[in-house]
A and B are shown apart, each in its own frame.
Chain A
Amino acid sequence: MLALFYILAALSVVSALIVVSARNPINSVIALVVCFLSIAGHYILLNAQFLAMVHVIVYTGAIMVLFLFVIMLLNLNTATEPMKSLGMRVAAVTGGGLLFITLAAAIRHGVTISATNDFDPGVGLVKTVGHVLFTEFLLPFEVSSVLFLSAIVGVVMLAKKETPSPHPLSDGEGLTPAELERRR
């Protein structure tokens, strides 16, 4: 069990590092997918099966597919990526290094983390999660669903803004007014 944890932990850390260091955006996306999958593995180790599966469905299966979609259609390459100037890079490394030293110093003398509750193996099961969502956390749950609804309505509003063309195949999209005029 512990070996499994270390393998998964190493996988998540390494893939997360690849996400930020990879030059090719596609490789970043794939590394992020691997990272999400390994985090789902951590959830399963904690017996939170429901959370693990929903995590995979929502993040890996939906959000990352849309990421990949955008990157594929934009066809981003390392060549088109603007390089920062030397001064900028030195400043970034110095700033980041200082922040790291500060954080390390703060954590070294910080409080030790200890569990206040005993681990309950049933905490991640569907029944428990559902029950808690509809009793203890009913208000936040409903509020967040209203938030999602407003986001959906907002997206439809934005998408509907342009005047709809009579038929998707009867073109007119992507042409300049002069070209359209010539066609007529």
Chain B
Amino acid sequence: MIITTAILLLVLFVITLTVAAYSTYGERKVAAFLQDRIGPNRAGPFGILQPLADGAKMFMKEDFIPAAANKRLFILGPAIAMTTALLTGVVIPWGGELTLFGETFKLQGTDPEIGILYVFAIVSIGVYGIMLGGWASNNKYALLGAVRAASQMVSYELGLGLSIVALVMLTGTLSMGGIVDYQIEHGWNVIRQPLGFIIFLVCAFAETNRAPFDMPECETELVGGYHTEFSSMKLGFFLFAEYTNMFISSAVIATLYFGGYHVPGLDRLGLDPNIATLIGTASMFAKTFFFIFFFMWVRWSTPRFRFDQLMNLGWKGLIPLGIVNMLITGTVYYLSEMWKG
């Protein structure tokens, strides 16, 4: 049991890192496509070796720590960012049950009763990476970037939480596996929670510091933002953490609102359970990749917000909307229960 879980986690770790690495390539290709350019095409066919070249470059570069920086925190910052980014994948159900060598196991690291709250807890710790890294650099642009990141992430966590409350009211469970099971039975949550989905999506953009909410690293105002002073693989860790976060939040969106590994009508085909599970996992990844593409699509086609606009949207737009969504969900749920008698 422990061995299968360990193997699963190792595979998940490798997949997460690979997807994060290839997201950098994907981002540049999507950007090129949207701007009518070719994009990276030198390293390997179609430039698919580009992430390896980038990684090698990152490792080769001089690892510079500014003289006035707080050395320990300067190292701790990217470490926290990377660690927290990798921790959340554990509770996401990547597929149904797989039977190998007479043993059945679920394609999910673990399914605690409080799965969603775990994701939230890790995301809320993730702020420290950016804050400590930015502060420790002893640079005014880095500090401003860190302060922006922290206030932005704390503010949008509220909207995110409220959209999840409505979802949990509907599904009646906090476990990620339980939410997927509910969707297999009752249809995808995006149909019943369209408003909640939009709130969640917008907040996910803000939580991952992606455009149009990438104020913490807004180069026109803050040079490089919180990672201005970072170089070599420390910078690489910050960038990598951003792409990992994007991958994980896409997976969470797919799980919570788009049925996770559920493919409608697949169970009627009478396929071998193992093959059905693999198709389900493939669909989970397809959904996740679509949302990664969506993140990139938005980044290269939408201008950046101003910081006060961002705060206004969060506090005066999304939070009240989240409360309204919660009220609507509660009312409809109550009425439908009355209807049933």
Contacts and interface: CB of A to CB of B under 8 A. Distances in A.
Contacts of B128: 33, 65, 68
Contacts of B70: 26
B252 interface: no
Contacts of B117: 50, 53-54, 57
A62 B124 contact: yes
Contacts of A73: 147
Contact of A72 (B127, B131, B308): B131
B124 A57 contact: yes
B150 A68 contact: yes
Tell me the interface secondary structure of chain A in the complex: helix
Interface residues of B, number: 27
Contact of B127 (A26, A49, A61, A169): A61
B120 interface: yes
A125 B173 CA distance: 12
Interface in A20-42: 26, 30, 33, 37
A53 B143 contact: no
A6 interface: no
Interface string A55-68: 01100111001101
Contact of A56 (B125, B132, B151, B308): B125
Contacts of B146: 72
Contacts of B150: 65, 68-69
Contacts of B132: 30, 68
A126 interface: yes
Interface residues of A, number: 23
Interface in A141-175: 168-169
Contact of A53 (B114, B151, B157, B306): B114
B56 interface: no
B125 A126 contact: no
Q: Which of A56, A125, A169 is most buried by chain B, counting CB atoms within 10 A of its CB?
A: A56
Nearest to B306: A169
A126 B112 CA distance: 11
A69 B306 CA distance: 21
20 contacts: A26-B135, A30-B73, A37-B125, A53-B118, A53-B121, A56-B124, A56-B125, A57-B120, A57-B121, A65-B127, A65-B154, A68-B135, A69-B131, A69-B147, A69-B151, A72-B146, A72-B147, A73-B147, A126-B113, A169-B306
The 6 closest A-B pairs by CB, nearest first: A61-B124, A53-B117, A56-B121, A168-B308, A49-B114, A72-B135
